Amino acid sequence: MFNFYGTPTIETDRLILRRICLDDTQSVFDHWISDERVTDNRVSAAHKTIAETKVRVEKIVKGYDSKEFCYWGIELKDNEDIIGEIDLYDFDQSTGNCEVSYSLGYDWWNKGYGTEALQAVVEFAFIHMNAHKLSAAHNTDNPASGRIMEKAGMKQEGIIRHMIRNSKGQYKDCAVYGLLQEEYIVQREGDV
């Protein structure tokens, strides 16, 4: 069902979605993975040391050996700063369904970058990879992430109570969103 291409470079108006490399380790640490304002919306805790981030980046780089690994760094075109990450994962070959997640550094929130990156990855998933359905979730106390999903065409399908437990041991309710390939095609044709 899926057509896997690995992690090709994707360009948008203001962004380059590209493979993360070892040279990005400091930026990953500085821009989002050590910032509790960002990691409070993630399952894993904020990194306290660059060594933790180095291990994580090395694991991502090794993942690129697989065509089924789709993990992009979000880079600004104008200054080549890497400001976040976005990935496709949990590929279910029997249904053609997968999930998407993303994180953006706090300094780049509310500037449209999350929407721009997600729209590009949604297009890649449906048009190039032939995904049947794309799902995503966000903590209900982070409604801005839901607005990004809606701007990318996704619809809220429900709320799952205590879906995750964050690094502080707090249970979080999550709003779950989804988009079908056929819905995406109709939306895309409507935009032309």
Q: How far apart are the first and last CA of the chain?
A: 27
Determine what percent of the chain is predicted with pLDDT higher than 70: 99
CA distances to 1, 111, 149, 157 from 93, rounded to whole Å, are 6, 35, 23, 22
Strands of the chain (E only): list them: 10-11, 15-18, 70-76, 82-92, 97-104, 133-139, 155-165, 171-180
Question: Per the domain annotation, does 125 fall within a domain?
Answer: yes
Q: pLDDT tens digit string along 84-105?
A: 999 999 999 999 999 999 999 9
User: What tokens were used for 174?
Assistant: 């999550």
User: What is the mean pLDDT of the segment spanning 105-113?
Assistant: 96
Q: Is residue 83 part of a domain?
A: yes
Q: What is the mean pLDDT of the chain?
A: 94
Q: Count of alpha carbons within 13 Å of 128, Cβ hemisphere only?
A: 15
Task: Please give the C-alpha separations between residue 108 and each of 6, 75, 82, 83, 103, in angstroms, as whole numbers.
Answer: 26, 11, 11, 7, 10
- Domain count within the chain: 1
**Per the domain annotation, does 135 fall within a domain?**
yes
pLDDT at 134: 98
2 belongs to a structural domain: no
Do 84 and 74 contact (CB within 8 A), yes or no? yes
163 found inside a domain? yes
Nearby residues of 83 by Cβ (< 8 Å), 6 or more positions away = 31, 32, 74, 75, 76, 104, 105, 107, 108, 113
pLDDT for residue 133 is more than 90? yes
> Is 4 inside any structural domain?
no
CATH number for the domain spanning 111: value is 3.40.630.30
Predicted pLDDT at 165: 85
Q: Which domain holds residue 178?
A: 10-191
pLDDT of residue 192: 57
Please give the pLDDT value at position 189.
86
pLDDT at 175 over 80: yes
Considering the domain boundaries, does residue 146 fall inside one?
A: yes
Q: Is 31 inside a domain boundary?
A: yes
pLDDT in tens, 20-77: 999 999 999 999 999 888 887 777 888 999 999 999 999 999 999 999 999 999 999 9
Question: Which amino acid, one-letter code, is at 54?
Answer: K
Whether 174 contacts 139, CB under 8 Å: yes
Helix (H) / strand (E) containing 31: none
